[in-house]
A and B are shown apart, each in its own frame.
Chain A
Amino acid sequence: MLEITNLSVSYGGLRALTDVSLSVHEGQFVTVVGPNGAGKSTLFKTISGIVAPAGGQVTFLGENLLDLPPARRAHLGIAHVPEGRQVFKTLTVRENLEMGAYPKAGREAWHHTLDRIHTLFPILSERATQLAGTLSGGEQQMVAIGRGLACAPRLLMLDEPSMGLAPAVADTIFERVSQIHREDGVTILLVEQRVAEALELSDHGYVLETGRMVLDGPYEMLLQDDRVRKSYLGLS
């Protein structure tokens, strides 16, 4: 579904990604883990078109994404839930979700997806008319994920959804993401620093370090890897 080959990105004169390859198949749950500054968010921004790559290829459902203007990419069914949530603070919760449904597919499925979003995150229906900027961090994350779901995505990209959240709230978020994958059949590409939880949910994992993919494999294999166990899981 999403195929990235030999992607290189320079960011303000610095090499952020070098020869990164990654593939996500329909229905998969793929996780990219790695320390701060490894280039995880840059990878997402390149897929969404906010950052232009220096080389390499990105295709989605056979279409060359790099040829498309950034705003067109969401219309293909790629939802990007950005790092730091980035909700529209001056819009209400409902309006935020409506903006998620901006692409045609989202508008057509609006009533169905809105119900679904409210089932997953009941608090959002209570807060519907509140400005998103007045919500707590966890609630804003729910808005951000709901907004992503609203476009009826084929691929949902989540950039550190647990960042800055209390552990209990983060657990809820992980649970919902897993639910979205299992019950709605949405393909998921997740970037996380909470490695154990993230890998546990996924079919396939990638380890990104200082801009290079150093390791990839199915969940069971990564758990057996000494480096992953030591550096990311704190096990020996």
Chain B
Amino acid sequence: MDLEVLIENVLNALAAGITIGCIYGLMCIGLGLIFGIMRIVNFAQGELLMLGMFASLYLVTGGGILAFLGPYIGPFVGALLAGPIVFAFGVLLHKFLIARVSGLRTTGSLDEGHFGQLVVTLGISLILQNGGLILFGSTPMTVRTPLASSAIEVGPIYGDATVFLNKARLIACAVAIVTAAGLYLLLEFTRMGKALRAAADNPTAATYMGIDTDKAYRIAFGLGSGITAIAGGLMATYLSFGPFVGLDYVIIMYSGVVLGGMGSILGAFWGGLTVGFVQQCSALVLPPQLQNAAIFVVFLMIVLLRPQGLFGRSAERA
């Protein structure tokens, strides 16, 4: 009898870990592009996540233009559409602020522009948090879908032990995987994707090839913003959020990116997946307040044993 409960708890934690992990993976890819590949320190990434959540919320609920899609499809289409909206926001942000402290302007300088980026993005983060408070208010919100309160039951697997797969999370997880795969293909195989990677690798040489690095960086920053926003929109279906939600997740994103290895999109995804997995599974043995502590224990262990990250390319440092 006790064994059945144990098995049920473990299996459910594993299932939650994988589904939430995939969404975290997508979220981390956004930062992976900006921080891992372009080497821009972005403390406002959590707020881009928050913007994605609110963008989805306003698209889908009340009088939103996607309200007609209903509560089943709407929230997920809303999450995807939050991507282009925040992409545009990210492009503008880069054009007017980030570009001044990154890219060719700071290549070869003492700190590669990191100090400037730190101050600028921290400022942006504070403005977005408090601006969000004014615009959106402080009431916790969620993008309601009836799918969040229904589950697919798998089993019973052992005795009465059954795995419950939350439908909202399951769909969100699938959307996250497809989006991540799409971005991966875009970066890996299209001319634009290769040009973005080349510009991030060596902006001077990329200019010699005729690549407009300012534009490449702008697009990459926009993509990184949009991808995290899509993850935000997906999380909004099962999570209540407010303007300050970004604070909780920016740390998770940084640990995911570093865990997976800087400079690799796949790595960022696996990093995020690992973080989500550890967080959910730690719930089996730790009180919820210590879940994030568990993330950092695993994080420190991996950094100690494999400093280049799970998927880091050692050529990166050559």
Chain A residues with CB under 8 Å of chain B are 48-50, 69-75, 79-80, 82, 86-91, 95, 98-100, 102-103, 131, 133-134, 147, 151
B209→A102 contact, CB < 8 A: yes
Q: In the complex the two chains form, what is the Cα distance from A89 to B313 in whole Å?
A: 10
| Known pairs A95-B194, A98-B194, A133-B316; A86 contacts B207 (CB<8 A) | no
Chain A residues whose C-beta falls within 8 Å of the C-beta of B263 in the assembled complex? 90
| Known pairs A71-B213, A88-B202, A102-B195; A82 contacts B208 (CB<8 A) | yes
| Known pairs A90-B313, A131-B315; A74 contacts B208 (CB<8 A) | yes
Residue with the highest number of chain A CB atoms closer than 10 Å, among B191, B198, B206, B210: B210
B197→A91 contact, CB < 8 A: yes
Within the complex, what minimum Cβ distance (angstroms) separates A211 from chain B?
21
Within the complex, what minimum Cβ distance (angstroms) separates A103 from chain B?
5
Q: In the complex the two chains form, what is the Cα distance from A70 to B316 in whole Å?
A: 26
Chain B residues whose C-beta falls within 8 Å of the C-beta of A79 in the assembled complex? 208
Does B318 touch A at the CB level, under 8 Å?
Answer: yes
A99→B211 contact, CB < 8 A: yes
From B201, B210, B315, contact of A151 by CB (8 A)? B210
B205→A87 contact, CB < 8 A: yes
* Interface residue tally for chain B (C-beta within 8 Å): 22
Does B160 touch A at the CB level, under 8 Å?
Answer: no
Q: In the complex the two chains form, what is the Cα distance from A137 to B233 in whole Å?
A: 47
Within the complex, what minimum Cβ distance (angstroms) separates B93 from chain A?
22
Q: A50-B207, A99-B198 are in contact. List 7 more A-B contacts (CB 8 A).
A: A74-B207, A89-B315, A91-B201, A95-B198, A102-B209, A147-B209, A151-B210
How many inter-chain residue pairs (CB < 8 Å) link A and B?
81
Q: In the complex the two chains form, what is the Cα distance from A50 to B205 in whole Å?
A: 10
Does B308 touch A at the CB level, under 8 Å?
Answer: no
Within the complex, what minimum Cβ distance (angstroms) separates B32 from chain A?
13
From A49, A91, A95, contact of B207 by CB (8 A)? A49
B318→A88 contact, CB < 8 A: no
A89→B198 contact, CB < 8 A: no
Does B153 touch A at the CB level, under 8 Å?
Answer: no
Q: In the complex the two chains form, what is the Cα distance from A48 to B211 in whole Å?
A: 12
A88→B198 contact, CB < 8 A: yes
Q: In the complex the two chains form, what is the Cα distance from A134 to B191 in whole Å?
A: 23
Q: In the complex the two chains form, what is the Cα distance from A88 to B195 in whole Å?
A: 11
A86→B210 contact, CB < 8 A: no
| Known pairs A71-B211, A75-B210, A131-B315; A82 contacts B194 (CB<8 A) | no
Chain A residues whose C-beta falls within 8 Å of the C-beta of B316 in the assembled complex? 89-90, 133
Q: In the complex the two chains form, what is the Cα distance from A48 to B205 in whole Å?
A: 10
Chain B residues with CB under 8 Å of chain A are 191, 194-195, 197-198, 201-202, 204-213, 263, 313, 315-316, 318
From B198, B205, B212, B213, contact of A82 by CB (8 A)? B205
Q: In the complex the two chains form, what is the Cα distance from A133 to B314 in whole Å?
A: 9
Within the complex, what minimum Cβ distance (angstroms) separates A9 from chain B?
16
Chain B residues whose C-beta falls within 8 Å of the C-beta of A103 in the assembled complex? 209-210
Chain A residues whose C-beta falls within 8 Å of the C-beta of B206 in the assembled complex? 88, 99
Chain A residues whose C-beta falls within 8 Å of the C-beta of B201 in the assembled complex? 88-91
B210→A72 contact, CB < 8 A: yes
Chain A residues whose C-beta falls within 8 Å of the C-beta of B211 in the assembled complex? 71, 99, 102
Within the complex, what minimum Cβ distance (angstroms) separates A94 from chain B?
10
8 contacts between A and B (CB under 8 A): A49-B207, A50-B207, A79-B208, A87-B202, A89-B201, A91-B194, A91-B201, A131-B315
Q: Which residue of B lies closest to A50 (CB)?
A: B204
Q: Which residue of B lies closest to A132 (CB)?
A: B315
B204→A71 contact, CB < 8 A: no
Q: Which residue of B lies closest to A133 (CB)?
A: B315
Q: In the complex the two chains form, what is the Cα distance from A71 to B204 in whole Å?
A: 10
Q: In the complex the two chains form, what is the Cα distance from A134 to B207 in whole Å?
A: 22
Top-5 shortest CB links A-B: A74-B210, A133-B315, A86-B205, A80-B208, A71-B212
B313→A70 contact, CB < 8 A: no
From B198, B210, B318, contact of A91 by CB (8 A)? B198
| Known pairs A90-B313, A91-B194; A70 contacts B207 (CB<8 A) | yes
Chain A residues whose C-beta falls within 8 Å of the C-beta of B315 in the assembled complex? 89-90, 131, 133-134
Q: In the complex the two chains form, what is the Cα distance from A71 to B199 in whole Å?
A: 11
From B194, B204, B212, B213, contact of A99 by CB (8 A)? B194
B202→A86 contact, CB < 8 A: yes
Chain A residues whose C-beta falls within 8 Å of the C-beta of B202 in the assembled complex? 86-89
From B210, B313, B318, contact of A102 by CB (8 A)? B210
Chain A residues whose C-beta falls within 8 Å of the C-beta of B204 in the assembled complex? 50, 82, 86
| Known pairs A86-B202, A87-B205, A89-B318; A71 contacts B197 (CB<8 A) | no
